[in-house]
Amino acid sequence: NIFVLGSFVAACSAKVLTAPRAGESVAAEAFLLEAGGKGFNLAAACRRLESAVDGLFAIGDDALSALAEPALIHAGLPAGMLRRRRGPTGAGVGFISASGETWVAVHAGANMTLGAADARDSGSAIAAADMTIAQFETSDAVIAEAFALARASGRRTLLTPSPFRPIPPAILSATSILCVNRVEAAALAAQLGLPDADDVGALGAALFPHGPEALVVTLGAEGALAALPDGALLIQPAFAVTAVDTLGAGDAFAAGLAVALCEGHGWTQALRRAAACGALVASRFGVFDALPARDAVDAMTQD
């Protein structure tokens, strides 16, 4: 089973012809308020792939917090994952234009109130999970503590550092698998003092002394690359699909990778299953409804 650390975000999205310019207001063609956040998406994606999921999400005490419990139940996630805090629930505002461009702003709200004590309270669940996974819509303190607890129990951890901020040494040293997209790879290369991020092998070699045992770089429609500690560089082409909305592709890829590795698949097959998850999400509108079921991934990755 997989333990997922925050975040829960109430996500508003408006479909518009073009995003409004400063001072302008435009009519939206459709509006949607739904449960989201990278943590929720990762947890829901793991669950859709039939992994058992536990974890930790914080919500506030405002009207938006009421979205959380029904959304978790609908996703098949345990409502016991929720921690209630004073203040605002994490919230996001997004525009999707007719040509598929997106503009998104996320307020982390309650997600940042998770701290080391919350991780310790979940210590036995973290120690029992095959893998603990986290993203950067929650605090460094809770990630560092949870990852340290997982590693102390001989478990693996996976981090998608998105939205990117420099990865603190306490987190990096307890990260087993680092999964980044092209933009985050460039920021990581800058953090490590490397001139460019295009050489994934060199990026992995610079990264591994700091803790991680594997680096995965996703390249959208160009697929993904993985650098492993034995020096191997694996190349995973993308599956050919008609992309309609790539929002959530990275989350689905990371969840697919985590579930496949926990099921005992080797790296080659795990990357293939992860790429299938990313492609399937990209080929459908939305995130939650687009998350692939296990059967669809099996069918796509059969030889």
Residues lying near ligand ADP in the complex (CB under 6 A) are found at 181, 218-221, 223-224, 238-239, 241, 243, 246, 249-250, 253, 275, 278-279, 282
User: CB-wise, 88 or 278, nearer to ligand ADP?
Assistant: 278
- Write the CA distances from 163 to 25, 39, 106, 166, integer angstroms: 27, 12, 10, 10
Task: CB nearer to ligand ADP: give 8 or 136.
Answer: 136
Rounded CA gap, 208 and 201, in Å?
11
What is the nearest approach in angstroms of ligand ADP to the Cβ of residue 278? 2
Give the shortest CB-291-to-ligand ADP separation in angstroms: 12
Residue 230 has phi, psi (to 5 degrees) of -80, 5
Smallest gap from Cβ 252 to ligand ADP, in A, equals: 7
Q: Is the Cβ of residue 46 or residue 81 nearer to ligand ADP in the bound state?
A: 46
Closer residue to ligand ADP in complex, CB, 12/104: 104
Q: Quick one: tokens of 248?
A: 């959530």
User: For residues 89 and 218, which CB has a smaller minimum distance to ligand ADP in the complex?
Assistant: 218
Cβ 48 to ligand ADP shortest distance, Å: 15
Q: Which positions ≥6 away from 137 have C-beta within 8 Å?
A: 6, 7, 9, 37, 38, 39, 90, 106, 108, 111, 162, 163
CB-wise, 149 or 249, nearer to ligand ADP?
Answer: 249
Minimum Å distance from CB 214 to ligand ADP? 15
Give the tokens for residue 203. 């990026």
Task: Please state, in angstroms and rounded to a whole number, the distance separating the CA atoms of residues 42 and 64.
Answer: 20
- Token pair listed for 21: 């310019």
Looking at the Cβ atoms of 71 and 255, the one nearer to ligand ADP is 255
* Residue 149 C-beta: closest distance to ligand ADP, Å: 26
The structure tokens listed for 152 are 């102390």
The nearest distance, CB 240 to ligand ADP, in angstroms, is 7
Shortest distance, CB of residue 186 to ligand ADP, whole angstroms?
12
Tell me whether residue 157 or residue 181 sits nearer to ligand ADP (CB atom). 181
